[in-house]
Amino acid sequence: MTTQDVINQYGKYVMNTYVRQPLVLVKGKGSRVWDLDGHEYLDLFPGWGVSGVGHCHPWVMKAVRGQSTRLMHVPNNFYSPAQWKLAKALIDLSFDGTVFFANSGAEVVEAAIKLTRKWGNSVGRHEIIVMEQSFHGRTTGAISATGQPIYQRGFEPLLPGFVRVPFNELQAVERAITPKTAGIMLEPIQGEGGVRVASDEFLRGVRRLAERHRLLVICDEIQTGLGRTGTMFAYQHSGVVPDILLLAKTLGGGFPIGAMIAARSVSEVLGPGTHATTFGGSPLACACGLAVLEVINKKQLLARVSSFGGVAWKRLSALKGRCPIIREIRGRGLMLGIELTTDGRPIVEACRAKRLLINATQQRVLRLLPAMTITRAQLDRGLSILEEVLMEHAGAASSQQPAASNQQSAE
């Protein structure tokens, strides 16, 4: 079966809800993937950040093989050793609280919305302040909380109770607080929103407002969590601690899992029957999560991310000085965004032609989320390919300007 055959079968049998690149991927290892035709690609955007410790990390694969031969699923009306072990490990890394396990980022966003409302309704509060340009998932509650109309269009009426304010503007948050406000939800770095970084001052200010008005701070670290920015969680850069922390993506090493961590004083409002999920916290998912945490710890990935992130930042900043189509470099650690003056999608396509996989978001922002296990040689090679493509497009853009100018003046 050829690549085109597979694409044709998708057209017949798979719902068309994704914009797919014309690649059929069949194998992955670390920061490399292979397509159906045997071509090898360097992946600087592995699984939208899911493969944070690389594709098919051997420790994760060992956990999958070991747990899957014993017991894959336990309904949550029974106990499972792997679940409490992963919960304890996450609590030890974050703050004192309890954990609710689900299967995805969107699911833990929904859980956080329910928890915040349950907590707030006892005192007549239900509204949640959210950020413009945020992204929290595709379920009805999650898109209602999301700050991008493109994801909401056609799905109205949305779930009420969300108040949007500009990202990184503390005064706007303060003005939005009313007697109905129960919480403030934000991403420390807006990934889908263009790799926009919340300032430490903004996060500290939000925490102060929350304490003053007795509100919950919900930190969506589905993309930033578990080492991506050089600390275990991105909120730790600012020194603040949220009341609710949301994790997914990297946590499963490629296996579906989500986790909501909530402070004990908050989580106690959810009793038996108030929230549930059939597959959440399965022995197999939790075994994968424990393996991922072991990789991050024993392979010292936080230090690696800080070091390699600095390398990437230095190279991209130098490139910006030479490449006129680069407007700004943003990010932290190995979560990097390159805002362009032009459409980023042709850059993604040109990189793919050179066997490099990256992403574009918000049309003009190139997004890099390389695996935290990437080698220095792989990182250097990927950045060199990206630099080559960007300079080629910058040259093409500059050569077209005189022609465009002449045409405009002739008109």
The per-residue pLDDT for range 349-407, each reduced to its tens digit, is 999 999 999 999 999 999 999 999 999 999 999 999 999 999 999 987 666 665 443 43
Q: Are residues 9 and 80 in the same domain?
A: no
Type and span of the H or E element at 146: none
Q: Are residues 122 and 242 in the same domain?
A: yes
Q: Are residues 394 and 248 in the same domain?
A: no
Counting the structural domains of the chain, the total is 2
Instruction: Give me the domain span that covers residue 111.
Output: 58-298
Q: Are residues 231 and 250 in the same domain?
A: yes
Q: Are residues 76 and 26 in the same domain?
A: no
CATH number, domain of 325, equals 3.90.1150.10
Q: Are residues 177 and 235 in the same domain?
A: yes
Q: Are residues 133 and 88 in the same domain?
A: yes
> Coil, strand or helix: which one is 222?
coil
Q: Are residues 205 and 310 in the same domain?
A: no
Mean of the pLDDT values across residues 289-302? 99
Report whether 100 contacts 270 (CB < 8 A).
yes
The per-residue pLDDT for range 244-268, each reduced to its tens digit, is 999 999 999 999 999 999 999 999 9
- Last-in-domain residue among 237, 263, 298: 298
Write the DSSP symbol of residue 79: -
Q: Are residues 121 and 185 in the same domain?
A: yes
The neighbour count for residue 198, using CB atoms within 10 Å, is: 23
Quote the CA–CA distance of 208 and 131 in Å, as a whole number: 17
The per-residue pLDDT for range 17-49, each reduced to its tens digit, is 999 999 999 999 999 999 999 999 999 999 999
Positive or negative: CA dihedral 107, 152, 338, 20: positive
Q: Are residues 130 and 80 in the same domain?
A: yes
Q: Are residues 192 and 267 in the same domain?
A: yes
Write the DSSP symbol of residue 49: G
Summary mean pLDDT of the chain: 96
- Last-in-domain residue among 253, 269, 298: 298
- Last-in-domain residue among 265, 298, 331: 298
CATH number, domain of 225, equals 3.40.640.10
Q: Are residues 312 and 280 in the same domain?
A: no
